Homo-oligomer: A and B are copies of this chain.
Amino acid sequence: MGISDRKERDKQEMRKNIIDAAMHMFTHEGYESASIRKIADKIEYSPGTIYLYYKDKDELLYDVQAECFSKLVELFQKEATDADPFKRLEQICHSYVRFGLENPEIYDLMFMMKSPMKNVHEHEDWENANDALSYLAKCVQECIEKSLIRFEHVWMAALSIWGMGHGLISLQIGCRMKIMDMDSDQIKEAIYASVSNYLNQIKQ
């Protein structure tokens, strides 16, 4: 028992190394640099070794994504703690937007790239996102229970709020905000303002 435990532990450790290296490449050199070879180089293993732990690149990216999500959850747990559900909702949204704008490459991996989603099959769960979205969903549920927002269904509220936040962030990451006649800082301000404004609109 002890032996197979250790093996499992070793395996997890190695996976962790791989993931950390990949995240570092994403963050610091852009997702275009995150090739299997370069990740392997970074941890000083051979490319082949990666395939002992992941069947293909998509699977690896899925795990990297998981790690990113746990960072996001940590952020929520640190920054979105107000007792008042609506205020907490505001905190969640603010953290989410900041996370996206400050970590565009990682946000891309989490919410935009198709590759990591290839292994989440129809009728399966996207486990990576569960905790983060539950955090939002629970908060939304409290808001609804206390009639703090103009929604009846939790799922529609959560989806709408997420949609609004994601929409604004991803337009910016994808350079589509160039159509607004603003510089980069102004755009970021506008995004924060739009989200705040939206929350005010749904407040009741």
Q: Report which A residues bind B (CB closer than 8 A).
A: 111-114, 117, 120, 123-126, 129-130, 133, 150-151, 155-156, 159-160, 162-168, 170-171, 174-176, 178-180, 183, 190, 193-194, 197-198, 201-202
Nearest B residue to A120 via CB reads: B178
Inside 8 A of A190's CB, which chain B residues have their CB?
155-156, 159
CB–CB A179/B130 < 8 A: yes
Inside 8 A of A165's CB, which chain B residues have their CB?
167
Given A159-B190, A160-B194, A167-B170, 16 more pairs with CB closer than 8 A: A112-B174, A113-B174, A123-B183, A126-B178, A126-B179, A133-B179, A155-B180, A156-B193, A159-B168, A159-B194, A163-B168, A163-B194, A164-B198, A166-B167, A167-B167, A170-B170
Q: State A44–B143 Cα separation when bound (angstroms).
A: 53
Tell me whether A175 and B130 are in contact in the complex, defined as CB-CB below 8 angstroms, given that A156-B190, A159-B180, A194-B156 are known contacts: no
Of the A-B pairs whose beta carbons lie under 8 Å apart in the complex, a sample of 24, sorted by A's number, is A112-B112, A112-B170, A112-B174, A113-B174, A114-B175, A117-B174, A120-B175, A120-B178, A123-B183, A125-B179, A129-B179, A133-B179, A150-B201, A156-B190, A159-B190, A159-B194, A160-B164, A163-B194, A166-B167, A166-B170, A166-B171, A167-B170, A170-B170, A201-B201
What's the nearest-Cβ distance from chain B to residue A34, in Å? 14
Nearest B residue to A184 via CB reads: B122
Inside 8 A of A179's CB, which chain B residues have their CB?
125-126, 129-130, 133
Inside 8 A of A126's CB, which chain B residues have their CB?
175-176, 178-179
CB–CB A174/B130 < 8 A: no
- As for how many copies of this chain the complex holds, the number is 4
Q: State A123–B160 Cα separation when bound (angstroms).
A: 31
CB–CB A198/B155 < 8 A: no
Q: State A130–B162 Cα separation when bound (angstroms).
A: 26
Q: State A131–B163 Cα separation when bound (angstroms).
A: 24
What's the nearest-Cβ distance from chain B to residue A150, in Å? 6
